[in-house]
Amino acid sequence: MRASDAAAGHTESVELGSAVSLFSGAGGLDLGLESAGFRTTVAVEWDADAADTMEKNAGAYFPGLREVLRADLYPLATGRAGGVTAEEILRVGGFGAGERPDVLVGGPPCVAFSKSGFWLDWKRDGVDPAASLLQAYTAVLAQARPRFFMLENVYALTFNNKASRPAFVRLRNEIRAAGYDHRWAVLNAADYGVPQSRPRLFVVGARRGERLPELPTATHHGDWERRKTGGGPRPHVTTGEALAGLVTEPEPEEIVRGRWGHLLEEVPPGDNYLHFTARRGHAEPVFEWRSRFWSFLLKLDPSRPSPTIQAQPGPNVGPFHWENRRLRVPELKRLFTFPDQFELVGKRTSVQSQMGNAVPPLLAERVAAGLVAQM
């Protein structure tokens, strides 16, 4: 197997262990673990297109994958019957009686805590039942007893509000109760070489008594919204650098429609709907200052990383390409650091969702390097 030696900046051959993947999506976390040297033996994913994507790429990118379990993990969180069990997951992964995986990895769906949805009362109040999918993860953790674990989620889970704080406290208490020490941090993907400013929460841990993995140190630095990030020696990788030399074909879905789509051509690269406000000196203002979400009519700047790419953007929600169109699928893969030859299954809306929900594989690899150091 191959494991990244992040400190030395090269890869070397090393024998590592097996990984069990929950909420696998299109496999961003798993691609990162594979690059670090682990082998995903079983994945659990409910979405049909995402499961098809994992299966389609198994031979080339997940050589140890025995099966994608198309199963609902929600009953595990509630104690109800009818869903997949931890025992079944381990059996399908090839683990015999008493055998344990080296790593449990997963990113439970984050709809209850997503920053983009806090304008909804039901999200601020924390009543979304999807929040309990965190408990599905900790239930498998307690029963599967892997040596290490890696959990990813939206960074808004760390916010001090009615929805996030109780859920995050509960999650950490359940991790401790399962017999694990852990540490957590919010990592911006751009600070680790990904051409996208995408802050995500990572929690890593080890069975009590094992050495606790370290989280990675930033390798890049730059701006994110109105703040500085990182501190690493290298500047952020830009969208212009990431997309350089990429040859793509036009896609029918790339045309920007909607009520305001015709305004996109006037937006300068890196700007958004605020270009059409009186405060910016527009001769014929269209919008009030800060009356829309920041990504409304947002256009990429080739000299900076991409802003966060969403899973389900509205008709006039970016980021859009500086050529005044939606991003094409090969461009999405580049901005997420998925391999160019990685195949995504489904219609364009499904592909957007799979990408927008994915962890950039390069970021996952950097985090997995901390597990490698303890192996």
Q: What would the DSSP string read from start to end of 275-339?
A: GGSGGGT-SS--S-TT-S-TTBT-B--TTSPBPPPPSS--TTBSPBBTTTBPPPHHHHHHHHT--
Q: Which amino acid is at 244?
A: A
- Dig out the tokens for 342 from the structure: 């990685």
Alpha helices in the chain (DSSP H): 28-36, 48-56, 58-61, 74-78, 86-92, 121-124, 133-144, 164-177, 239-243, 329-336, 348-356, 361-372
Q: Which amino acid is at 18?
A: S
List, by residue number, the catalytic residues: 110
CA-CA distance, 61 to 64, in Å (whole number)? 9
- What are the angstrom distances between the C-alpha of 49 and each of 1, 45, 324? 28, 10, 28
- The secondary element (H helix, E strand) that includes residue 40 is strand 39-44
CA-CA distance, 308 to 306, in Å (whole number)? 6
Contacts of 160 (CB under 8 A, 6+ apart): none
Nearest CA to 208 out of 174, 177, 169, 185 is that of 177
